[in-house]
A and B are shown apart, each in its own frame.
Chain A
């Protein structure tokens, strides 16, 4: 009986299709829940920073607030401006949301807990995250509005600039691992928490985190939707669920980059101390805790820092991060080569 079920799910194409669908659901549903409660956590953290209470009316401690917000967005009317480009206007939020979701296919949650354990996992993540900009730029153009267009242009320039330094950060990690497979990246960091790459590659971890803030258009780099100048930036003309998709996509992207940070620099599913009782905790919980830690820093910066000026943002990306990360790539390669620490193929 059990063997029958096993052969059905591994050989029959229908069984494989069902299995893949279930795997997708097993990642997507918790992810969407995480997105919902990330908005709640965000608001609570900002509230604490500003000595307010935050959402506390809907449900106990306001815990049902994200559900109420979601319901509100679904029930509102979707307005498509008459001068907008109808098809592209609707496609744009879909692209923004989809790209944030499909990237999760290669993220390893625990040893072997990954939908697609592909050899070029890091490149896949990098490729997908570079697609996110299309949702924004198409939205800005299709809206046929000045504010939206300016927001889209700012966002495109910003994301392209900071992707360069993220690319170099990925290269340094790859040099230390010797593989592009994300599971192998995590396995290379086993042991005590000072074996994780955050310590040996500390400058790159900082650059990665700041670039992640810029990639997700978060404060202090939220120029594309700076409400003081551009109303709401690229999603000025969006309402109801079309706006909701942008919003969900933005948060899913934030969680994705935090997960990438956890995989690359914080040892993925590894426990900080490689002895019981820490090793008895399932790896997926450690992974979630690390993501939550990085997300907390995301909210913390948003509650604390003022917004950058646009030329300063570009200066930081091209004149500071690019040379520093390039130099660090060369330095890492040299140290690995001459120190004899080059990973064995």
Chain B
């Protein structure tokens, strides 16, 4: 038990410290790397409370896919940090407001403020009994029965976002030479070569 508490404090401390470094570090590449460290330790925290499925999905989706693309983009950008910091005071109130809202939601979830019915524990009571089955199965049962339509709609929203991004960036460029693998494979000998009988001293 004491080992678990120790592990919790280590992971939590690293999460908070690296989250702070994301905001304060001067090099954007370092920021992304610290963000990855924060994700990773958050996954470890999920593991500690026994949410193994969420932990793995966090690593696969955020660390393995999202952060890679982030890093990809940030490494190729030549960001001028002094320019970036100029707008800091201008945006500070908005940022502080969003932070305050998130913090209030967190307190509401834990149950420090507000009534007892909004807490995470109270919401958990509606779900299946988690202790009896492993949590991959538990999440699957809730997601594909109780929240089936919401789940599908969430997928649809993501699809629309993806199509939107493609529509915004797609432009038709004339004169682009594309490789069509199907045509290449279906080409026959008759289409590809023509045998010409060249007369002597006549040329083609």
Contacts and interface: CB of A to CB of B under 8 A. Distances in A.
Given A120-B136, A141-B75, A134 B60 contact: no
Q: Is the interface of B mostly helix, strand, loop or mixed?
A: helix
Contacts of A163: 64-65
B134 interface: yes
A130 B53 CA distance: 16
A315 B184 CA distance: 15
B131 interface: no
A131 B65 contact: no
- Kindly state the interface size class of chain B when it binds its partner: 20 to 34
Given A133-B68, A315-B181, A120 B53 contact: yes
B129 interface: no
Secondary structure at the A interface, as helix, strand, loop or mixed, is: helix
B60 A126 contact: yes
Nearest to B3: A13
A4 interface: no
Nearest to A132: B64
B53 A123 contact: yes
B60 A130 contact: yes
Interface string A153-166: 10011001001000
Contact of A130 (B29, B63, B71, B134): B63
Contacts of B29: 141
A127 B75 CA distance: 23
A156 B76 CA distance: 13
B72 A137 contact: yes
Contacts of A120: 52-53, 56, 136
Given A137-B68, A138-B33, A160-B68, A130 B52 contact: no
Nearest to B57: A123
A156 B60 contact: no
Nearest to A122: B56
Contacts of A141: 29, 75
